[in-house]
Structure formats: C-alpha cells, structure tokens
Structure 1
C-alpha cells in the first residue's frame, strides 16, 4: 500500500515557500503522491452543505481561500521529480472540457507522466450554476465531458456531436505521456458514480472513508462491475482518504482490505502543525514499507 497526503493548499498559510518546502519534504520521506481538492468560488449560503464537516462549511483560514489545482500542481511539479499529483477531485461538470483536457495533458507532459485525474460531480449547487451550467444534469454532462477528454487524449483527430459539446476535425496536442491516457480516478458513492467508475475509471477514490465504509463501498463497486459484465482487476486502483481523526497506527486495516493507495489528510497548514503531522505520516510510510 502506497501512502500519499491530501492537502488543499489555502492562502494565506500556503505561501510559495511553504508549498515548495512541503513538496520536497513529501518526496524526501517517501510519499507516493499529493492530492488537492477543487473549488473555484465559495458562497456564504449554500443549498447543500459541505459533506465532510459538521457545520456544512469548508474550514478556511481567516481571510484565505483555496488555491487553484492546475497552477499549484505546475508549481509543485517544478520542485519535485517523483511525486504523483492527483486531483481529489476535479469538478468536471462545471469545467470547460477542452480547456480541462488541455490543462491535464499539459501537466502530464511536463511532469513526465505524474498526474492522476481524480474527478467528481460536486456538491455545491451554487458553484455549478455560477460556472454557467445546470445542476440537475451534471451527472450526464460529466459523462459526456469525460468522453470528449478521453477521445482528445487518444485520437489524432476527433469529431464529436453531443448535447453540450459539438466540433469537427479537432486536434489536441501534445498527447499525455501516460498511456492510453491520464488515469481517470472516479470519486463518489451514488450508483451513477460507481457506473462512471466502471465505464471510465482506472480507479475509485473514497474520501473520509473508515475501514468499514471502505469495505462496503468495495462490495458495491464489485456489484457495479458485475452488472457491466466485468470483474474488477488488480490494475483498478482503490484510493482512500481516511477520516481526519483516525489514528495513524489504525490505518494498517486498509492494506488488509486491498487498498492500493492511502491518501492521509494533512489537516492544518500552520507551520507547527504541518511538521507534527508529517512526522506521523512518515511513521505510517515506514509501517507499510
């Protein structure tokens, strides 16, 4: 089981120096990857609350906000050589699919194939609508956008006629370094998300899942594969971020479930807390080595 860290970098704590040093330290202690979540804008009032907090709000430093995943990964890539960089998750149905395809394959090109494209449909209705898209049809739109991106990454010339995207004799270069394309890691717990993982995914990502919840999701994922007439094989990656309160010494259970990559939540980005947490994560790396 490989160990990564989840850290959605936030201003004002995540300065250029902090991010650069963090990337180097992550590589030095043997971490597999760094994962970042995505939100373009946030709102004082939401129809649905953030599912990973008790009050329904994303915890932010006072006066701060979330850094952009693409720009931050480009910055991290320049200061590292081995770390994989994963979006956890990119909100595909509120993104322009052509721009997204270009950004992700460019990152893959510049990092020599170190990008994992974690994707999801999102929970923030106001954010989806502010980006110019509808809320109710975001799942179908996500599937169409993924198909567009997959074809642009793998075919020299693409014609596409969908509900949201239409073009003829379109070329996107350079192609990704990874073949057949950048790995698509599907997040989400509803049946459509599991079907999406079977159709498009090189893996499935569960956020804030304890071992019991992980075991149940793997059962449901295997059912989704069976319904599609397929079987989950060893190349299909299971990636889990445990609950932030879970003790480091309890995380060995995930390896017993067959989890391939454990992405531990960093938590606070205050300098003193980062040092303490990274020492704990280094202990976990040595435990599973």
Structure 2
C-alpha cells in the first residue's frame, strides 16, 4: 500500500463513493477493499434523503442546475453504507461528503457518528453541508431559511455529546441537560469538515471546522475561499495546521499531475476523485488511476 502522507503530504480519496452501482452490496464491499489496497486514504459517501420530482431549486454544483448523475440516481444512506463497508476494511477512512446536517436530529446524529467511529476503530470523518434543495427540506419538515444557524448549533451540540462525560447544551434549536452518550468516539471526537462554496462556509470552517471542503477547484475561487477561511481562523487564534483542506478533481493523467501541484501549493492536503470516473469496471479503473496519477505524483 502507498504511504501517501509520508511521501507527498497529499491524500487521495473517492467522492460520491456510495452512489449508483457503488451502492450495491457486492460492488460496495469490493470497491472498499480494492480502494484500501491501492492506497486510497478515504471513501466519502454523499447524502440526499429524498429528491422531490420536478424540484425548482438550482443545484449550485452543476452547469444545468440539476442533480449530478440524474434525479433518480441511487444514493444509499451514507452512515448505513459506511457501516456496511467498515466491516470489509481495516484502515481506510470513512467519510460523509457531505451530509446535510440541518435536516437531521443532532442528538441522534451524534450517536450514529460516535457508534460508527467506535466500531470502526476511529476512522470517521464527518463532512457537513447546509444543503441546497429546499423541496427536500420541505419533505422532511425542516425550515430551509435558517439552516446555517441550525447547523452551527448542531455542531456545537454534537461536540458536547462526544467530549463531555455528562453533556448539556442550551440554544435556540437544541436543548438538553446532563445527557450521557455512549459509546463515545474512539478518536475522542469526530473531525468535522465544512463543505460549501460560499464565503460563509469558508468562515465557518476557519472559525471551528476541523476541515474545509470547498466545492470548487478553480484556482482563483479556491484562493479566495481559502483566504476567507484563514482570516477567520486567525481571528479565532486558531492554528491553520488544524484545518485540513480537501478538494475534488476529475482530471486524469498528466493534466491531473499538473493540477495536483497547483492544489498542493495552495495548501490542499486531500484530493477526492468522483466515483463516476470508476463506473463500469471500478477495480480496473482504480488501478489505472493509481498507476497514472497516484504513483507518479507520490514519486516526485
């Protein structure tokens, strides 16, 4: 297995790892074992609870404003899917990328993430976003407009449950006294990566995120967001080394190597490759990516 951190400081992961055919039981287990064996550091499972037909909300991450992969693409629940593949693997990180935190009950979510981290031996990364599909919020019965403030408080409440022997939290959206959550995470907490392209997301990551996952790899936009993140971190007297930056890429071959050099220069420490690049014959495609991108880049 490639020791990516030791050789280059860059980690390779797979984004949308639970989507499409990757969500099928046999494919998922084989995918996870193959990725781990080839030196992929992490698998990132995405989330949509439901996709209401004929939604009007524009997706901010595609040119046509529609869901990546189509409105009816299979997206298994990320925590259930990650729990399934955790039993088939030993070292690969198990990440959500991203989970729509404001849609979920934070006390229940804290329990689920802590349980997965405990059972997997401390391998969980929680990528959290605010969501863009208002119709999905309507279907779940959660207000869409205050999702930013809701997510901020949810993160605070979850961290209290993970780190305090007997936890209490009092806020606008979450209130509990003297609650015991067991098991607590094997890592003592669960790293939280803030996802999003907005200035608010960058500042949120800099203020209290363990990581930042800007949904762009365009150099100027990325530089601007990372500047916002770092300024927010400095304002909070945080160590910038405590905030891990993750970016996705769809490039392969020599073009990928050139882009990786740029991303590393900007302070990116992890790159995620969309699972769609590996559909068809995932094992063969992952081996090609390892040979064409991971090995050459690690060897520099």
Q: How far is the alpha carbon of 1:148 from its aligned partner?
A: 0.8
Q: Which runs of 5+ in 1 are unaligned?
A: none
The CA RMSD over aligned residues, in Å, is 2.1
- Displacement, 1:71? 0.7
> CA 1:17 to 1:199, structure 2 compared with 1: closer, same or farther past 3 Å?
same
* Within-5 A mapping of 1:1-289: 1-11=10-20, 14-60=23-69, 64-179=73-188, 181-226=189-234, 228-242=235-249, 244=250, 247-250=255-258, 251-267=260-276, 270-272=279-281, 275-276=284-285, 278-289=287-298
Query: Could you tell me how far 1:136 is from its partner in structure 2?
Result: 0.8
- Is the Cα contact below 8 Å between 1:12 and 1:61 reproduced in 2? no
8 Å contact kept, 2:160–2:168: no
- In the alignment, the residues of structure 1 paired with residue 110 and residue 231 of structure 2 have an alpha-carbon distance, to the nearest angstrom, of 30
TM-score by length of 2: 0.87
Deviation, 1:265, is: 1.5
CA, structure 1 residues 269+66, in 2 after alignment: closer, same or farther (shift >3 Å)?
Answer: farther
Contact 1:6 1:36 in 2 (8 A): yes
Aligned partners of 2:244 and 2:35: how far apart in 1?
Answer: 21
Distance in 2 of aligned mates of 1:31 and 1:201: 23
Instruction: Measure, in 2, the Cα distance between the counterparts of 1:269 and 1:45.
Output: 29
Corresponding pairs, count: 286
Question: SS at 1:5's partner residue?
Answer: strand
Q: Distance in 1 between matches of 2:80 and 2:224?
A: 35
Corresponding residue SS for 2:193: strand
- Deviation of 1:145 after TM superposition, in Å, equals 0.8
TM value normalised by structure 1: 0.91
After superposing the two structures, state which structure 1 stretch, 71-80 or 166-175, moved more.
166-175
